[in-house]
Structure 1
Amino acid sequence: MRVTQSMLSANSLRHIQNSYKNLGKLEEQLTTGKKVSRPSDDPVVAMKGMRYRSQVVEVEQFNRNLSEVYNWMDNGDAALDEVNSVMQRIRELTVKASNDTYEEKQRQAIASEVDQLRNHLESIANTRVNNKYIFNGSDTSGKPVDLSKIDQEVDLSTIDANNAKDYALFAEDGTQLLWNDISGGFIDASGAKVEVPVTGDYIAKEVGAVSVNQKDVNIEVSKGVNLNVNITPQNVFSLDFFSDLGKLVSDLKSPETTGDDLSKSIGVLDGHVDKIISERAELGARYNRVEMVESRLSSQEIIAKSTMSENEDIDAEKTIIELTSQETLHRASLAVGAKIIQPSLIDFLR
């Protein structure tokens, strides 16, 4: 085959162009720190990178969710701790007042303090975090406790189909009934219709007196794993809780109340304290699980980022050596190309 000068020149230019291309690719890798900058560089690496990156983003989002979980639980636990302290103070005052040697004025003073503590418990029940009420189930925009409505007496006989939706009914066992327009009657937490007599073993209060929302606030902390971050408000800030404290205040103010009557109230207070402790213990158990989930997510994040780095990131030392070698080859290619280019008449005239 006859090899011409133009063929040598074309081959030389093509090889030089490829050398420039290789130099550009290595320079781009060193600049970005990545093996590929576009899917066409290596479709397999790019596809794997998309999956690994999605996994890292998912784990990072779960870590952000954990911050919200801790926010809810820490505030809930702090509030329950304060409630327990207030209840211990009320119990202490009740024990003192149960002594028949206390005069009426002394019991009046204790009644005033207990009443103030009761109001403080209302403010704790209405705790808001990030403008959300944390003790009202999933209804985070609604105020869970209103003492003015709790203290208001409602006659069951005055409730009919026209105004029933404005009231909630409470049974002695804690069962709560709400009016449902679809069924045309009161329903329980399961949605079953309940026939309520005009009079019976129910106490009626305006909606908003205490929380009637029993739905959990769930936050996803891992794929397919949701944790309940709030307490059940009906177990702590119930109608009985505030009503019993209200009755205690009334008994302390009444001159006819004896020490034995107040001693019975101590047992009632202890029952509420037990519920607070139980709810706090249950919250603590969930808190321990959150800590284990956080540890697991930390391990997953490290593994996911390590895998993504192995797939996408370059070996800087290796790439620098390759770039140096390519520069040497490129200079040699330019030198050889300069020698095979056909001399022109101008070169001889020099």
Structure 2
Amino acid sequence: MRVTSGMLVQNAIRNINSNLSRLDTLQQKASTGKQIQYASDNPVIATRSIKIKSYLSEVEQLQKNTEDAKSWMKFCESSLGQIDDNLDRIRELTVEAANGTYSDDDLNAVKEEITEIKKSILETGNSNYSGRYVFAGYNTGDAPFESVSTAVGEKIMYNGKYLSLGGPISSTVSDEDYKAFYLDNMDKISRQPEMQSAVINTFTATAPALDFSLSLDGVSQSISLTDGTTYDADTLQIELQSKINAAFPSGTGQPDPLIKVSTQDDKLKLTVQDGSSIQIDSGTLNVKTIGFTGGTESIANAKQEIEYKMGVGNLITINVEGNEMFGKGEESLFNTLTKLEMALEGETSYKTATYDEGPPAEVIVETHELDISSLLGDLDLDLSRILKSRSVLGAKTNYVELTQNRLSSNNVTFTELLSNTEDADYAEVSMKLASAETVYSAALSASAKVIQPSLLDFLQ
């Protein structure tokens, strides 16, 4: 076979480029510290690396979740500890006051101290962690607890609702006044069914998109808007209240209306005053038009749990709701303290109110005997409820700490695995790079000798 000078030149250039490409690959490995630069370099390693990185990213987020959850729960546990200490002091004072040896001045001094402790407990109930009220359920932006003066005496409200609408109150309040107060405020009972819309934008109702359904305790009724009417939040509130009253009329002794429609900040609120559940569904009218989501249901005593993800399918509730730790209705801690204050003032009885669905529906007012020693049992129940909340938080905190340790170990293990998968062996790369540089230099030197002679060299 005839070998020409052109063939020699082409082979020399090809070999130089091949050595240069190998040298470039090794230099990239040395400078980046990675085995591959592109997925096409090694699809198997690239796929494995992506999966490991995805898992590590999830682990890092879960570690943040566990740290946030632990900090929240420790803050809650600390707040509950303060309440526990306050209740211990109240119980100690109650035992002293119940022994029958205290004068009126002594009892009054005890009452004053208990009143101040009560204020302290209320303030602790409004504990704020990083701008969020920890005992407020979902409504973490606003202080949940408030003491308000009413026509029947002081009441405690939780997220705008009475923690215990039905008492206790002084026996000097008439039964009729108490019944009227109860009926007038049945839309403000803690944990009653309630739903709120998004902001209502002005719209015009047009046939056939006029009807939607509303269900109260499983009984569904069709509600219709008026064709051609332009609605905003206020006009819609007026018409819906009228239509809902007609669909769900109040019976004898029942609160009127059964479902109260109100507005706030251009949003509608539907509050059940007598019933355990409410649901709204689209008909010819998509209820998104009036700010709701079809199929939305609200039931009585629905919990507001703030959950953090700890792993795949693993959620943990980090919050304690204020109406759970303090109790609601007859079992409220503040009911106990109110009765204790009345007893220390010398009152021997108090009144409570309950709503009986009947028939006939009515508010029943009852009078109860009152003495200081009988309240020790109530205080023990309140203490037990606080201790239970603390123990639940403690158990969850321990679990979160175990999860933190596991995630930390996983992070180390998979970071090492990622390094073994992606990272280049510096010693090996350095050796190969030195070898490639030598080979490349030799190729350049040899090629220079092949390419250098030409016809002119021989004509000289």
Structure 2 counterparts to residues 140-159 of structure 1, below 5 A: 140-148=140-148, 151-152=154-155, 155-157=178-180
- Equivalent position of 1:297 in the other structure: 407
Structure 2 counterparts to residues 49-198 of structure 1, below 5 A: 49-148=49-148, 151-152=154-155, 155-157=178-180, 164-165=186-187, 167-168=188-189, 176-178=191-193, 182-184=214-216, 198=253
- Equivalent position of 1:285 in the other structure: 395
How far off is 1:66 after superposition?
0.6
- Equivalent position of 1:271 in the other structure: 381
Work out whether residues 138 and 213 of structure 1, in 8 Å CA contact, stay in contact via their aligned partners in 2.
no
- Between Structure 1 and Structure 2, the one with more strand by share is 2
How far off is 1:342 after superposition?
3.9
Q: Deviations over 1:141-193 (max 9, x none)?
A: 34322222692477454566x9753x116xxxxxx534569445799xxxxx9
Q: Deviations over 1:211-239 (max 9, x none)?
A: x6622111001111101111243332224
Quick one: structure 1 residues 145 and 213, their matched pair in 2 at CA, closer, same or farther if it must change by over 3 Å?
farther
Q: Unpaired segments of 5 or more residues in structure 1?
A: 170-175, 188-192, 201-206
Quick one: structure 1 residues 198 and 272, their matched pair in 2 at CA, closer, same or farther if it must change by over 3 Å?
farther
* RMSD of Structure 2 on Structure 1 (CA): 3.2
Cα distance in 2 for partners of 1:7, 1:345 equals: 16
Work out whether residues 94 and 262 of structure 1, in 8 Å CA contact, stay in contact via their aligned partners in 2.
yes
Moved more, 177-186 or 52-61: 177-186
Letter in structure 1 aligned against 2:145: V
Letter in structure 1 aligned against 2:146: D
Cα distance in 2 for partners of 1:24, 1:277 equals: 68
Letter in structure 1 aligned against 2:377: G
- Equivalent position of 1:24 in the other structure: 24
Letter in structure 1 aligned against 2:122: E
Secondary structure at the counterpart of residue 308 of structure 1: helix
Q: Percent identity?
A: 29
Asked whether 1:247 is paired with 2:262, we answer no
- Equivalent position of 1:223 in the other structure: 312
Cα distance in 2 for partners of 1:140, 1:305 equals: 37
Q: Deviations over 1:323-346 (max 9, x none)?
A: 011111111111111111142477
Count of paired positions: 324
Asked whether 1:9 is paired with 2:4, we answer no
Work out whether residues 65 and 221 of structure 1, in 8 Å CA contact, stay in contact via their aligned partners in 2.
yes
How far off is 1:100 after superposition?
2.2
Work out whether residues 104 and 255 of structure 1, in 8 Å CA contact, stay in contact via their aligned partners in 2.
no
Work out whether residues 136 and 213 of structure 1, in 8 Å CA contact, stay in contact via their aligned partners in 2.
no
Cα distance in 2 for partners of 1:156, 1:185 equals: 24
Quick one: structure 1 residues 66 and 318, their matched pair in 2 at CA, closer, same or farther if it must change by over 3 Å?
same
Work out whether residues 107 and 252 of structure 1, in 8 Å CA contact, stay in contact via their aligned partners in 2.
yes
Q: Deviations over 1:256-306 (max 9, x none)?
A: 69xx92222222111111111112112212222212212221222122212
- TM-score (normalised: structure 2): 0.64
- Between Structure 1 and Structure 2, the one with more helix by share is 1
